[in-house]
A and B are shown apart, each in its own frame.
Chain A
Amino acid sequence: MERIIMKKLINHPDNVLKEQLQGMQLAHADLINVHFDPYYITRKDAPVKGKVALISGGGSGHEPMHGGFVGKGMLDAACPGEIFTSPTPDQMYEAAKAVDGGAGVLNIVKNYTGDVMNFEMAADLARADGIKVQNIIIDDDVAVKDSLYTAGRRGVGTTVLVEKICGGAAEAGYDLEKLSALCRKVNQYGRSMGMALTSCITPANGSPSFEIGDDEMEIGIGIHGEPGIKREKMKSLDEITEEMTMGIIEDPAYTRKHKEWSFEKDEWIEVEQTDEPFQKGDSVIAFVNSMGGTPVSELYGVYNKMNEVCEKNGIKVVRNLIGPYITSLEMQGCSITLLKVDDEILKFWDAPALTPAFRR
């Protein structure tokens, strides 16, 4: 096979996903099973009888999300698509059949047009087989202001927190309806914002997905190497962190409609939801995430300033998560997620988990 010259640890772009999944299977054979036709990853002891199964998925290139979060206390299955390309319905359908323990399946879907459509088709296929399925959409990116003229807010950092919290609740015996309600609540309580210092290169393209000057940064990015909402001249850590944190704290109420399955009507329905803004006195989980290329040391710098901005605004950080958890290949940059918590959310955040990338 012809070797493609690109400064990446890969062989041929066509084989990247397969080789990486093979490595994952070898490294974590005690926790997960990787299936190759089609691609999906299941927890070792699936299906867990009587427990609602949690499935998520999306394009690859965001590792450790989602495959790294498969295991006890988090996901039952993850479906990796090609790099930055949503997975196909057959993957989620096969995964649902493999992990349904009789209590139904909750699909955690990030709000990207392709992901939403593919998960919808997969849910229809699984339902035709008699599996109870609900899809809950995660859309927490405050950089997107309206849902009327766009595909709505993207699913970013809150997704990781949802997978941990709902995973804990599923383990504790929540039924599909209760788990869906918790998932919806966590999404409504979570808000994120991301920024990039550099672009990233997908193996299939071999060139950066956007051009950016040495003295520039991109604010309000998603997680697919797509350009953000605006481009600015490079600023200091404190200025950048303050802009992002305030963007989250001051984000007003956000209303949009999501498609969910109505078990009563036996059809997809549009459900209107509103995220209420943060208020003085709120307690939050703060998640400072690397886009892949930013070192953990710099994330602590972000956390330091973010904490100060939160305190100044009456927001109390009661838990944190710091590190590369939802990445964009080798992109330099970070995202901040603040998730308002209550006793229910905290209890499941603190619950045990044993997965390749998250252990408690």
Chain B
Amino acid sequence: MKKTQVLDWLYRTAAFMEENKTYLTKLDTAIGDADHGNNMHRGFSNVIEQLPKYEEKDIGSICKAVAMVLISKVGGASGPLYGTMFMQAANTVNGKEELSGDDLKKFLKAGLEGIIMRGKASVGDKTMVDAYTPALAAFSDSIENGDDISSALDKAVAASEEGMKSTIPLIAKKGRASYLGERSKDHQDPGATSLTLMLTAMRDASKA
């Protein structure tokens, strides 16, 4: 994945967040506090606003800059979670101008570990971890089997979507949705949804 594709990924993510702002907020209204779409949209529109300042730098520096913007602009729980994800992922790609399949595997793995470190969620808690964990496993398997990045991302997105849908029947154990107990059932987790959008944007960028 070239640097231009990484930048394209960020632009596509911002576009997805704008398109899905109302949808994400609607999901969050059902089981959270009705701000996820607005927060993600605000965060990523700031990311692309600032991006021209960092475009010339290496992928690690770009992702670190994204982390700082998300941490300071998103708020809620998603700000620290996505901010930490980008920060930890960035540390694995310092100085790089292009990512191999193996680089991207390490990048995605560090991102998930960042989210878990910050949010202490496990699979089954009805969070973004439920989408991210199977997506990373599918991506890693695919790369290890010799697939190229774009087909590995196809598999990652499919696994992420499945993980996202698997949150529907779950009872939330983390975040604000956890207060609803049984009533959090039958709703898709907004965080798992925005995470899936982010991976979908990455896949689309890898094919462009």
A residues neighboring B (CB under 8 Å):
38, 59, 81-90, 112-114, 117-118, 120-121, 143-144, 149-151, 154, 202, 204-205, 209-210, 222, 224-227, 229
Contact = CB atoms under 8 A, between A and B. Distances in A.
Given A84-B35, A112-B176, A226-B33, A90 B72 contact: yes
A88 B71 contact: yes
Contacts of B173: 149-150
Interface stretch (B10-18, B99-107, B157-165, B177-185): B177-185
12 contacts: A86-B75, A86-B76, A89-B72, A112-B176, A113-B174, A117-B80, A149-B181, A151-B176, A222-B176, A224-B176, A226-B32, A226-B176
B34 interface: yes
B147 to A, nearest CB: 35
Given A117-B80, A154-B179, A226-B33, 18 more contacts: A81-B75, A82-B35, A84-B33, A85-B35, A86-B79, A90-B71, A112-B77, A114-B75, A114-B78, A117-B77, A117-B81, A120-B80, A121-B71, A144-B179, A149-B173, A150-B181, A151-B175, A226-B32
Nearest to B70: A88
B181 to A, nearest CB: 7
Contacts of A224: 33, 176
Interface in B32-46: 32-35, 38-39, 42
**Size band of the B side of the interface?**
20 to 34
A88 B38 contact: no
Q: Is the interface of B mostly helix, strand, loop or mixed?
A: helix
B74 to A, nearest CB: 7
A221 to B, nearest CB: 9
B118 A117 contact: yes
A205 B39 CA distance: 12
Nearest to B83: A121
B180 A227 contact: yes
Nearest to B178: A150
A38 B69 CA distance: 13
A205 B32 CA distance: 13
B34 A89 contact: no
Contacts of B181: 149-150, 229
B73 interface: yes
B179 A114 contact: no
Contacts of A225: 33-34
Q: Which of B75, B79, B118, B173 gathers most chain A CB within 10 Å?
A: B75
B48 to A, nearest CB: 17
A314 B181 CA distance: 33
A118 B34 contact: no
Contacts of A88: 71-75, 79
Contacts of B25: 205
B18 to A, nearest CB: 14
